[in-house]
Amino acid sequence: MPERADVCIIGGGVVGCSIAYHLARTSRLKIVLLEQGHLGGGSTGRSAGGIRRQFLTAIHIQLSIESLKMFQTFREETGWEPGFRETGYLFLLSTEEERTRFRRAVELQRRLGVAVEVLSPPEIQRLVPCLRVDDVLEGTLTPGDGYASPHQVVWGYAERAADLGVQVRERCEVTGVNVRGGRVQGIESREGQIAAPVVINAAGPYAGPVGWMAGVEVPVTPWRRQLFVTAPVADLAREVPVTIDVHRNWYFRREEGGALIPAPTDRQSSFNTAVDWEIVPEVRSAGVHRLPALADVEIVRGWAGLYEISPDNHPILGESEVQGFYLACGFSGHGFMHGPVAGKLIAELILNGRTTGIDITPLSPQRFREAQLIQEPLTMHGVKESDVRSPMSEVQRPMTDDR
């Protein structure tokens, strides 16, 4: 007889752990979470931890507003310190087109209750003296945003979920999803079979291959994203807002007294997470224009992870065409900040058939079949409206050797 559970969650990143915790907190279901490596060892542990409410679509802003509240109360909720630093998020705008686009966004953000300030170049300079601002027209600042520790958040959710009875299994790869008559039956793993009426695909950049196990096309494409940290910078002795140069599609934040800076995202499908050290001079010089102090500091470490890009850069949340097989993936580089609320919403959907607070119908997997894509040009991988791909292109085929 196979083992039985009520719910199997595939993936132990922030999304899977948040779902496990929220399901366990509000039900008595038997829940098993399966993680092929270690908790937080996927994209979550490689994320920059950024949490912001400056987006251009209402649904993204709402997800951020709710998640931010959850980061703020995370310690009371889980007993774990999430390491939230309220540095604010600052966007720098250098062209009239950017200014117009962001003024529209500011209006929407304010309408939804976000306190966002519009700053002049001298105000930006006072806030972040080490920035070059002579070519900046304006800035938009959300003081309440910031960043937190991905590992602490994952462990907070996972440990509390385990306290509530969830079986968390690390080093346990799911190798198959059983489906009969259009209904999910359970999973196959390296440790055996589990029969379950509900299976959740929270496999981050591997959501495509995991979807194929159930015969479901999940349009999530992995893109490598690399981050580097410099030696301490004298001008960054204290915290500054996470600062995004919209025109250059570049950002930095403080990390260990130095600057955390990105390489351009590799906009091609790949599971490669090796660091390309040859790109280091380019990474540093790309930032010198905005942060001149970078010219004099070494890059001391770096890492690479995978973004999980959906065709419209919004998460895919809901039941797939296979009954009982739920998708919680495709966060497109925003899954750390949206993981807390996504876990709560998926738990509500499974337990009650509907969500409270945020209507996630527009995020359902069916939108790709119905061509109801959402447009969000404000991403850190610089996707413009014209780049939004046709729904089912670039979907990953089942397991390749480079996993």
Ligand X SMILES: Cc1cc2nc3c(=O)[nH]c(=O)nc-3n(C[C@H](O)[C@H](O)[C@H](O)COP(=O)(O)OP(=O)(O)OC[C@H]3O[C@@H](n4cnc5c(N)ncnc54)[C@H](O)[C@@H]3O)c2cc1C
Binding site for ligand X (CB under 6 A): 10-16, 34-37, 41-44, 46-50, 173-174, 202-206, 210, 225, 227, 305-308, 329, 331, 333-337, 339
Q: What is the DSSP string of 198-258?
A: EEEE--GGGHHHHHHHTT-----EEEEEEEEEESP-GGGSS---EEEETTTTEEEEEETTE
Report in angstroms how near the CB of residue 53 gets to ligand X at its nearest: 12
Residue 111's Cβ-count burial label (10 Å; 0-12, 13-18, 19+) is: exposed
Q: How far apart are CA 177 and CA 360, in angstroms?
A: 25
Give 116 or 261: the residue with its C-beta nearer to ligand X: 261
Six token digits for residue 190 = 């390296």
Among the listed residues 250, 257, 292, 233, the one whose alpha carbon sits nearest the alpha carbon of residue 92: 250
Give 130 or 202: the residue with its C-beta nearer to ligand X: 202
Report in angstroms how near the CB of residue 341 gets to ligand X at its nearest: 11
Report in angstroms how near the CB of residue 19 gets to ligand X at its nearest: 9
Q: Which helix (H) or strand (E) holds 334?
A: none
Q: Are strands 250-255 and 258-262 parallel, antiparallel or unpaired?
A: antiparallel
Give 133 or 154: the residue with its C-beta nearer to ligand X: 154
Q: Which residues contact 195 (CB under 8 A, 6 or more apart)?
A: 2, 3, 4, 5, 178, 185, 186
Half-sphere exposure of residue 168: CA atoms within 13 angstroms, side-chain side: 26
Give 139 or 315: the residue with its C-beta nearer to ligand X: 315
Report in angstroms how near the CB of residue 15 gets to ligand X at its nearest: 3
Report in angstroms how near the CB of residue 141 gets to ligand X at its nearest: 17
Give 133 or 189: the residue with its C-beta nearer to ligand X: 189
Report in angstroms how near the CB of residue 119 gets to ligand X at its nearest: 22
Give 48 or 133: the residue with its C-beta nearer to ligand X: 48
Q: How far apart are CA 355 and CA 121, in angstroms?
A: 42
Give 107 or 191: the residue with its C-beta nearer to ligand X: 191
Q: Are strands 50-51 and 146-147 parallel, antiparallel or unpaired?
A: antiparallel
Pair 188, 53: CB distance under 8 Å: no
Measured at the CA of 389, the angle between CA 387 and CA 392, to 5 degrees, comes to 170
Report in angstroms how near the CB of residue 126 gets to ligand X at its nearest: 26
Pair 307, 381: CB distance under 8 Å: yes
Give 219 or 333: the residue with its C-beta nearer to ligand X: 333
Report in angstroms how near the CB of residue 287 gets to ligand X at its nearest: 16
Report in angstroms how near the CB of residue 160 gets to ligand X at its nearest: 16
Give 49 or 311: the residue with its C-beta nearer to ligand X: 49
Distances in Å between the Cα of 94 and the Cα atoms of 9, 252, 278, 338 are 44, 17, 30, 28
Q: Which helix (H) or strand (E) holds 323?
A: none
